Structure 1
């Protein structure tokens, strides 16, 4: 397929012949039987169900899959006829989890780092740094600490660092997943500007496809069982009814289609479990205030969604309500029925007391994994609090969240969507009365999204309070409840 624009001579041609990869210790291949040709300068949207191998393909193209000790490869995957590991620097990869991509302490140094490693002249490096930061809309001083960035800001930073490389092959793994709606369009447009300037080849993985459908030449859909399910122009793959049906059945997010969810319609809520009158929150003890004052209550059998621009303090507010950060001002108080003998201040609870009452799923799933297998991860929480492991409950959670076939796998080898579902399941294993979720639908295909929403609606009906930090408007609508809009240091609570 010929790209609809003029490629730069440095743009990369990608070819695969019978290519596959199996992670060490896994029986099944992450991706297999892959045959494709991506022409230099072509813009490709790579789709597929959660766990179909999309991220694995990007990692292979970037030459970072590792040695034979880390897995088994079959077939060949080449960049301009060479193995990707031998031409590193030709491809630039933005990882699904930007947290793992940040290396240096200051924003400017982080963006300059990869270009420095490519021996770009010093004066040109800083021109690229300024341009890349401007492209992605990260308006911060060059000496701003990377540790003070929100998840969405780190996502922009990771993209800026790769754009400053000006690679011949740009690989993006869910680059807009944690961004607010305005940020999604800003980042998409930034990528297009860079492609117009450099003529590079693009392979982007996204579950929500409508944002990219109008700016790519081609859509390739990976089959979960190996090979390619569909391949062609967006107007063919995403529009023709027969193809749309096949993709929807496979869990691919098709434009103008929403999967059906089950579970009871959430009601009006029950007793107050947490109250936080006039609290102000901050990420660190001496750092700037993130947002406040806020007047919040968390009710049993009720959903509370926190939304707003990146960097507005959403995650900080959620972590404070979850007893993991101390309020800058005011207090968070647990009701007697929630606190029991632990005391009213969740911040003072021991970890074993907290996890049985308030379960928090972080924005980065890897921060929660502590064992070497999915099954052990599901059993860790109950063992930690001294409860007997219920094999039936473990099996039920694994089945509901489509993890049964992965029980023996190392959690760190899962796809991004699988890691997110596992992190949710580990919190549910201890049956907390409040469940806090930070970007819970990140990396989910349409089917796993619907299953997660259905499960959460059932939990709410059983009396659990579900508090979510999210940009997913469909998720907010499906859970109902109240919504806290956070922006500019203030919060506005909207009741249903």
Structure 2
């Protein structure tokens, strides 16, 4: 069992002016189940990294103390398991079973115990394949379940979970929550960061709300925290259960077709798919994990060529260049016409600062320095990234990184926007602002395609929904 104690704890990432966490006093007792809430950028992920002993002394500045049973977390790593926001960062082996076994082997677990524990962990998280499944062939949601299995197999005393269901379809998310209910012993201490608050509440007995760089804003049993602080928390961006979200219906009907997939597929990742994307329409692409939704987004974005069928642009999107498929367009032309947002934001970051990341697209399309700065400043302000203009993109929180990835796609004002899980990691306030921004783009005549598991997002914005059916795998 592990108890957590933080006294005046603060952490500032190297090169940043603002503190990620500061003035934090918190104690979590043995066996407690804590839901950690707070607006995007409040330091939730930084706190989990500190408890896991992953904040290197040369990577930032620390105030106060953080201890696990009286020890520095760097000396307690074998007792702690963590699942990150990005599951791919935890996968190290080519085969799924080997990946779960990797941690057990490093801990010196007897050889005869390893594979039974691997199989048990895979079963408990509802992993749909056998041990031999290549990790490179997994969808983002499947990777997340595998990463969780790898941590549960270690049977940690302190379990840290950073949005473990963020990229899962509803059925997969329910499987993971069931796995946590079944697989985590009652004397295991658990700290969970999760934006699906209502779904997470049955897993916890305490809610702690962080104030950005200001310690704890609220702490106690869930029902009392939400009853006493619900309005304030909602205003600050915390997802309080039972607070409805206003839909953003289109102001006009859809316009001309911009892009069409005609039996477009990429076996075995994506079955042949037909859909049309129109100007002035928000199209939601849904379906179970592993169905190929992210692959479809890459095809529509011109970043992959289809293996079957075709993806065809219309003159409304590409003018005379419509005779060539999008994946054959030159990079500047593709950037002007179609903006893509990947499932993993870090896969599209290539510069050292948030400002330069946003400026890259306009610079490549020949915009003047004044026009570049005007575009960047507007996007920074609109997506609440202005205080982070000089920050390294790789030091952002998950929600901040997602907003930056959306902003980079918007920077060249493309006629068509293709987004993969655009609301991942957002608090209620930034979620609403992101939906409002996409609604404005749609109403101005842009086409919006969003791959998503976020039912609230679909209900608020989508004018039409297409469900992707999994390919038949042999």
Normalising to structure 2: TM-score of the pair?
A: 0.96
**Contact 1:95/1:173 (<8 A) preserved:** yes
The answer for the alignment partner of 2:385 in structure 1 is: 403
Matched, 1:127 2:127: no
The answer for the alignment partner of 1:18 in structure 2 is: 8
- Work out which of the residue numbers 191, 195, 201 in structure 1 matches 2:189: 201
Deviation at 1:225, TM superposition (A): 3.6
Deviation at 1:89, TM superposition (A): 1.4
Matched, 1:138 2:127: yes
Offset from partner CA, 1:258-285 (integer Å, 9 cap, x none): 3446x66353210111122222234xxx
Deviation at 1:476, TM superposition (A): 1.0
Offset from partner CA, 1:325-353 (integer Å, 9 cap, x none): 21121111111232235443101112222
**Contact 1:106/1:145 (<8 A) preserved:** yes
Distance in 2 between the 1:279 and 1:225 partners? Answer: 48
SS at match of 2:284: strand
Deviation at 1:489, TM superposition (A): 3.0
- Work out which of the residue numbers 241, 265, 270 in structure 2 matches 1:280: 265
Distance in 2 between the 1:50 and 1:276 partners? Answer: 36
The answer for the alignment partner of 2:142 in structure 1 is: 153
The answer for the alignment partner of 2:291 in structure 1 is: 312
SS at match of 2:266: strand
The answer for the alignment partner of 1:55 in structure 2 is: 45
**Contact 1:50/1:415 (<8 A) preserved:** yes
Offset from partner CA, 1:189-233 (integer Å, 9 cap, x none): 10121223x621100001121111122111000011410010001
Offset from partner CA, 1:349-381 (integer Å, 9 cap, x none): 122221111111000000111111111111011
**Contact 2:257/2:316 (<8 A) preserved:** no
Structure 2's unaligned 5+ residue stretches are: none
Per the alignment, do residues 289 and 416 of structure 1 end up closer, same or farther by CA in structure 2, a change over 3 Å counting? closer
The answer for the alignment partner of 2:231 in structure 1 is: 245
Matched, 1:360 2:348: no
Deviation at 1:113, TM superposition (A): 0.9
**Contact 1:336/1:344 (<8 A) preserved:** no
Distance in 1 between the 2:396 and 2:246 partners? Answer: 26
**Contact 2:292/2:470 (<8 A) preserved:** no
The answer for the alignment partner of 1:213 in structure 2 is: 201
Distance in 2 between the 1:258 and 1:73 partners? Answer: 39
Matched, 1:378 2:358: yes
Deviation at 1:462, TM superposition (A): 0.9
The answer for the alignment partner of 1:6 in structure 2 is: none
SS at match of 1:273: strand
Distance in 2 between the 1:184 and 1:278 partners? Answer: 30
Deviation at 1:133, TM superposition (A): 0.4
The answer for the alignment partner of 2:443 in structure 1 is: 461
Offset from partner CA, 1:295-337 (integer Å, 9 cap, x none): 2111111111110110011111121111112112111111123
- Work out which of the residue numbers 369, 373, 376 in structure 1 matches 2:349: 369
The answer for the alignment partner of 1:112 in structure 2 is: 101
Matched, 1:46 2:36: yes
Matched, 1:256 2:242: yes
The size of the alignment, in residue pairs, is 469
**Contact 1:259/1:447 (<8 A) preserved:** no
**Contact 1:324/1:347 (<8 A) preserved:** yes
**Contact 1:266/1:480 (<8 A) preserved:** no
**Contact 1:62/1:85 (<8 A) preserved:** yes
Distance in 2 between the 1:488 and 1:102 partners? Answer: 24
SS at match of 1:330: strand
The answer for the alignment partner of 1:235 in structure 2 is: 223
- Work out which of the residue numbers 100, 103, 107 in structure 1 matches 2:89: 100
C-alpha RMSD over aligned residues: 1.4
Structure 1's unaligned 5+ residue stretches are: 1-10, 283-287, 491-496
Per the alignment, do residues 12 and 266 of structure 1 end up closer, same or farther by CA in structure 2, a change over 3 Å counting? farther
Deviation at 1:143, TM superposition (A): 1.4
The answer for the alignment partner of 1:36 in structure 2 is: 26
